[in-house]
Amino acid sequence: MVSRVIPVDPFDLVIFGGTGDLARRKILPSLFRRFVAGQIPDNALIIGAARSDLDQAGYRSFVAEALAEFLPAAQRTPEDVARFLDDVDYVKLDATGDEGWERLKDLARDDRVQAFYFSVAPSLFGAIAERLHRFGIARTDARIVVEKPFGHDLESARALNAALASHFAERQIYRIDHYLGKETVQNLMAVRFANILFEPLWSARYIDHVEITVAETVGVGGRGAYYDQSGAMRDMVQNHMMQLVCLIAMEAPYEFDPDAVRDEKLKVIHALQPVGMDDIVRGQYRAGADTQSYAEDVGNPASTTESYIAMKVEIANWRWKGTPFYLRTGKRLRARTSEIAIVFKEVPHSIFHDAIGWHENVLAIRLQPNEGMTLSVMIKEPGPGGMRLIEVPLDMSFAEALGAEGADIPDAYERLIMDVIRGNQTLFMRGDEVEAAWAWTDPIIRGWEEQGDRPRLYDAGSSGPEDSLMLMHRDKRRWREISE
Ligand code: BG6
């Protein structure tokens, strides 16, 4: 299969927070990979902007180290790295003061795409937006990229939207949810809207329930201070899982156009029902043999923040009324796996009296690792001796089906950053979408706070708290195994 790389237009990309963790881990390696793929023109300029006392040479060394740390050696020849570094510059800058902004203005060129990546704490968004405007740096067609967390609740998200809107139009703002950049997440749309096969079955009429699992084996790592203020609900459900729900549940947009797609997603969020306290289980991991407990990880013995959440969510519209979506996500679980399972109803009447118990068709879409799809179907067990049924998987691993191209799945950031340069907002969240997501999330969190709810403890390396099993059992359903 021939990979088609269409170069983007020349651009200047300023990374505020250019020496930060995200820049090192994701933004710079992703830019480099796109550069090597031939997608970034040689005359593009990547400007790191941060407080650190560095000059151009110092920052280039920083970038080279980041590439060495986060990309395998096979992906970076010294020649490619040297060519890439030629396009890298640095500005020492004070986001809340005046230093550096004039220099940034001097570097700005008019004849190319202009993008500003706000890889900084949200508390700095307003200050940076205001300076880009006041110093006459950003043009009216400039693009800005902002990261999550986009607010802590509805009120703070509104304040952030307002701060950005004072200087930039919505069409200029690219709010990243990196899940939307994952290949398999985009595949959800391809599977649904490029095949006739699934659409007639894609509703409460034929789907019993939908299960979305995003399980991680890692703990909160060095992000304890942030995470303890957020918890799984704010960190994963309000954004990533919500986006997955939207892509599964949305109606077909009239075209693959940013606002058409986002309008449809927004309707799903509006149709989400309030979630009762009985429909949620929160958990917090215990210490494992070699790992600390959540409370130790965040350095807060009294923490009531959840590192795990399982919930039953209902969508009140014609398509989905009666088909629950069960969501679960957590840290320090048994395996790292993200999977969406569409569990179809059983046949209305079984003509095979010897048939075995559970035999629903399941379409499982594996987001990571081993990206692919499996459709479980019932067939006759081979051989004479009656009509015995067995379940077999129709299994498609993208790596196998697509060869080298399927094996080399680009990082979500590669796709998303190139979309910013191309000026395509389809895979970015619109302001109203983020606010609607918070409007649904806020009452749930407030409910816990009012009730003084404490998460159940679960063993490190397990599937989460026992109580989460009940969430399914009482509906006569069961979770799928968490396994790679
Ligand atoms: C981030 C969360 O947005 O997504 C992290 O803040 C989480 O807590 C991460 O670990 C998961 O992303 P991925 O791409 O590894 O599934």
Q: Give the whole-angstrom CA distance, residue 207 versus residue 255.
A: 25
Alpha carbon nearest to ligand 1 atom 5, residue: 235
pLDDT at 451 over 70: yes
Alpha carbon nearest to ligand 1 atom 2, residue: 235
Cα–Cα distance list, 450 to 66, 284, 454, 455 (Å): 44, 19, 11, 14
Looking at every residue in the chain, the average pLDDT score rounds to 94
Tokens of 441: 């999330």
Mutate which of 70, 226, 233, 236 for ligand 1? The one with the most ligand atoms within 8 Å of its CB, which is 236
pLDDT of residue 355: 55
Mutate which of 177, 185, 186, 216 for ligand 1? The one with the most ligand atoms within 8 Å of its CB, which is 216
176: which DSSP letter?
A: -
What ranges make up the beta strands (E) of 248-324?
A: 280-285, 308-313
How many CA within 13 A on the CB side of residue 152? 11
Alpha carbon nearest to ligand 1 atom 8, residue: 235
pLDDT of residue 303: 96
pLDDT of residue 405: 59
Taken in order 331, 334, 337, 339, is the CA torsion positive or negative? Answer: negative
How many other C-beta atoms are found inside a 10 Å radius of the C-beta of residue 400? Answer: 12
- Ligand 1 centroid to Cα of residue 355, in Å, is 41
Q: What is the CA radius of gyration of the chain?
A: 24
Report the Cα 342 to chain-centroid distance in Å: 19
Does residue 235 have its Cβ closer than 6 Å to ligand 1? yes
- Ligand 1 centroid to Cα of residue 235, in Å, is 8
Mutate which of 183, 238, 240 for ligand 1? The one with the most ligand atoms within 8 Å of its CB, which is 240
Q: Is 358 left (phi over 0), alpha (psi -120 to 50) or beta?
A: beta
Segment 292-343, tens digit of pLDDT: 999 999 999 999 999 999 999 999 999 999 999 999 999 999 999 999 999 9
Q: Give the whole-angstrom CA distance, residue 319 versus residue 198.
A: 14
More confident residue, 100 or 407: 100
What ranges make up the beta strands (E) of 171-295?
A: 173-175, 207-215, 280-285
Name the pairing type of β-strands 362-368 and 372-380. antiparallel
Segment 359-379, tens digit of pLDDT: 789 999 999 888 889 999 988
For residue 383, with 0-12 CB atoms within 10 Å meaning exposed, 13-18 middle and 19 or more buried, which class applies? Answer: exposed
Q: Give the whole-angstrom CA distance, residue 397 versus residue 374.
A: 8
- Ligand 1 centroid to Cα of residue 182, in Å, is 12
Tokens of 472: 């399914």
Whether the full predicted model's pTM is greater than 0.85, yes or no, is yes
Strand order in the sheet with 143-146: 88-92, 45-50, 11-16, 113-118, 143-146, 173-175
Q: Give the whole-angstrom CA distance, residue 281 versus residue 471.
A: 8
Report the Cα 384 to chain-centroid distance in Å: 49
Alpha carbon nearest to ligand 1 atom 10, residue: 216
Q: Give the whole-angstrom CA distance, residue 36 versus residue 44.
A: 13
Alpha carbon nearest to ligand 1 atom 6, residue: 235
pLDDT of residue 173: 98
- Residue carrying the six token digits 């991991």: 285
Q: Which of 152, 167, 240, 270 is catalytic?
A: 240
Segment 266-290, tens digit of pLDDT: 999 999 999 999 999 999 999 999 9
What's the pLDDT band for 401 if we cut at 50, 70, 90? Answer: confident
At 261, the amino acid letter reads V
E strand or H helix that includes residue 294: helix 294-298
For residue 349, with 0-12 CB atoms within 10 Å meaning exposed, 13-18 middle and 19 or more buried, which class applies? Answer: exposed
pLDDT of residue 354: 60
Known active-site residue 240? yes
pLDDT of residue 129: 97
- Ligand 1 centroid to Cα of residue 185, in Å, is 14
Q: What is the mean pLDDT of residues 125-149?
A: 96
Q: Is 266 left (phi over 0), alpha (psi -120 to 50) or beta?
A: alpha
Segment 247-272, tens digit of pLDDT: 999 999 999 999 999 999 999 999 99
Q: Give the whole-angstrom CA distance, residue 321 versus residue 250.
A: 13
What's the pLDDT band for 382 if we cut at 50, 70, 90? Answer: confident
What's the pLDDT band for 406 if we cut at 50, 70, 90? Answer: low
Does residue 216 have its Cβ closer than 6 Å to ligand 1? yes
- Domains within the chain, CATH numbers bracketed: 11-147 (3.40.50.720), 180-473 (3.30.360.10)
The atom number, within ligand 1, closest to the CA of 220 reads: 8
The atom number, within ligand 1, closest to the CA of 223 reads: 8
Q: Give the whole-angstrom CA distance, residue 231 versus residue 149.
A: 12
pLDDT of residue 444: 97
Does residue 411 have its Cβ closer than 6 Å to ligand 1? no
Segment 338-364, tens digit of pLDDT: 999 999 998 888 888 665 555 789 999
- Ligand 1 centroid to Cα of residue 369, in Å, is 14
pLDDT of residue 174: 98
- Ligand 1 centroid to Cα of residue 179, in Å, is 9
- Residue carrying the six token digits 């004039």: 102
pLDDT at 449 over 60: yes
Segment 67-101, tens digit of pLDDT: 999 999 999 999 999 999 999 999 999 999 999 99
- Residue carrying the six token digits 């067990």: 381
- Ligand 1 centroid to Cα of residue 476, in Å, is 31
The atom number, within ligand 1, closest to the CA of 368 reads: 16
